[in-house]
């Protein structure tokens, strides 16, 4: 499963020669599947369509054999389903591969709460990048039939940033990323218990792989108000994150800074930076309100003032 701290982009999608079997061509693992095959087969038409959409979104673009192998559905059924989704504008077909259409992106942007969060966070994220030249992520918690995960809502990087495979729309594990651990620490106890009870796969040298250790980490995060992922998502990648709150102190998301350069990282200093930035986004959300929105405030907000005052140094 991908992580926000994955360090390098993988190879481009591989279609394979035509004489290979579907399973060989697809190289599909159980972890890649949108749900267990039996569960997806037993779902109704809408459930199957959502499962297929999730799978396509997780891989960028897929072929018909890949979808059939991953879902366990007959190839003819998958073909009818995706052709209907193409006709409705939800999927696009290029050559023999399918990808999510811009219409789905429009659906996401239509959420008032997500739109407000993005608008409040983006100026702060831009200032963080300007002064550190480190990659900045905005993530939110997503809960569905599968295990809770973090969803990357926005990512800012530049030409001087190291290339990492995270992207807006990517789902990442909660236990192995700084943003994910923030969401664990400040969400309800059910999210933490569900995560601790499930498998905690290792993605980097320092990934937390036991529920007891994860609970201890969450307690530390609640005290310090920021999280650290030191080569937990992948080797050589370090990250800090802090919580963003909305009205009634409800958790709205996590702001994170990712460092992939082979240089020592002062986690305390970088943690202070991300805390200040997340607090600025929180104040912006409080000023705008979460229900009816409001006019944008001055771009010289608290986080930007702190940056220009010297809290952040060049990365």
Give the model's pLDDT for residue 292: 44
Whichever domain contains 178, its CATH number is: 3.30.450.40
Task: Please tell me whether residues 122 and 81 are part of one structural domain.
Answer: no
137: which strand partners? Answer: 155, 256
Q: What is the DSSP letter of 215?
A: H
Contact 283, 296 (CB under 8 A): no
Task: Considering only residues 133 and 214, tell me which one the structure prediction assigns the higher pLDDT.
Answer: 214
DSSP H stretches of helix in the chain: 22-26, 37-42, 45-59, 64-71, 75-87, 102-109, 112-132, 178-186, 189-197, 211-224, 267-288, 302-308
Percent of the chain with pLDDT over 90: 48
Which of 235, 259, 255 minimizes the C-alpha distance to 245? 255
Percent of the chain with pLDDT over 70: 74
The segment with the largest mean pLDDT, out of 32-46, 70-84, 189-203, 296-310, is 189-203
Question: Domain for residue 185, yes or no?
Answer: yes
| φ, ψ of residue 133 in degrees (nearest 5) | 60, 25
Task: Considering only residues 282 and 15, tell me which one the structure prediction assigns the higher pLDDT.
Answer: 282
- Cα separation, 273 vs 269, in Å, equals 6
Q: Is the pLDDT of residue 297 over 70?
A: no
Give the model's pLDDT for residue 193: 94
DSSP characters for 33-53? SSS-HHHHHHS-HHHHHHHHH
pLDDT in tens, 1-33: 555 554 343 333 333 333 333 333 334 344 444
Q: Which residues contact 263 (CB under 8 A, 6 or more apart)?
A: none
Q: Is the pLDDT of residue 252 over 60?
A: yes
Task: Please tell me whether residues 285 and 161 are part of one structural domain.
Answer: yes
Which tokens go with 264?
């020592």
Give the model's pLDDT for residue 131: 82
Task: Please tell me whether residues 172 and 249 are part of one structural domain.
Answer: yes
- Range with lowest mean pLDDT among 26-30, 142-146, 198-202: 26-30
Which tokens go with 54?
């999730």
Give the model's pLDDT for residue 275: 96
Q: What number is the average pLDDT over the span 53-62?
A: 86
Q: Is the pLDDT of residue 315 over 70?
A: no
Q: Which domain holds residue 97?
A: 33-105
- Which of 105, 139, 160 represents a domain boundary (last residue)? 105
Rounded to 10°, the helix 178-186/189-197 angle is 130
Task: Please tell me whether residues 66 and 142 are part of one structural domain.
Answer: no
* Average of per-residue pLDDT values in the chain: 80
Give the model's pLDDT for residue 205: 95
Question: Domain for residue 76, yes or no?
Answer: yes
Place 300 in a pLDDT band, splitting at 50, 70 and 90: very low
The pairing of strands 149-156 and 171-172 is antiparallel
- Cα separation, 28 vs 38, in Å, equals 16
Question: Domain for residue 26, yes or no?
Answer: no
- Which of 70, 105, 140 represents a domain boundary (last residue)? 105
């Amino acid at each position: 499963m991908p992580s926000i701290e994955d360090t390098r982009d993988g190879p481009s999608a591989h279609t394979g020669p035509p004489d290979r079997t579907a399973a060989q061509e697809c190289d599909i693992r159980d972890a890649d599947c949108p749900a267990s095959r039996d569960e997806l087969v037993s779902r109704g038409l809408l459930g199957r369509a959502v499962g297929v959409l999730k799978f396509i979104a997780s891989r960028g673009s897929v072929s018909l054999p890949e979808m059939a192998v991953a879902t366990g559905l007959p190839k003819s059924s998958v073909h009818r389903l995706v052709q209907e989704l193409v006709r409705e504008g939800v999927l696009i077909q290029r050559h023999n591969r399918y990808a999510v259409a811009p219409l789905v992106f429009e659906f996401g942007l239509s959420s008032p709460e997500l739109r407000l969060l993005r608008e409040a966070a983006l100026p702060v994220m831009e200032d963080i990048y300007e002064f550190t030249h480190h990659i900045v992520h905005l993530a939110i918690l997503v809960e569905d039939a599968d295990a809770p995960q973090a969803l990357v809502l926005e990512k800012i990087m530049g030409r001087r940033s190291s290339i990492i495979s995270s992207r807006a729309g990517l789902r990442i594990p909660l236990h192995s990323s700084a943003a994910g651990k923030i969401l664990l620490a400040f969400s309800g106890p059910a999210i933490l218990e569900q995560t601790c009870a499930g498998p905690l796969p290792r993605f980097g040298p320092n990934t937390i792989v036991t529920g007891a250790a994860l609970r201890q980490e969450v307690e530390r995060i609640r005290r310090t108000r920021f999280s650290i992922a030191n080569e937990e998502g992948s080797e050589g990648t370090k990250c800090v994150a802090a919580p963003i709150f909305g009205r009634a102190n409800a958790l709205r998301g996590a702001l994170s800074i990712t460092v992939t350069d082979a240089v020592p990282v002062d986690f305390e200093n970088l943690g202070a930076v991300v805390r200040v930035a997340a607090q600025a986004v929180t104040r912006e959300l409080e000023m705008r309100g979460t229900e009816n929105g409001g006019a944008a405030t001055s771009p010289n907000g608290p986080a930007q003032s702190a940056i220009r005052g010297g809290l952040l140094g060049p990365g």
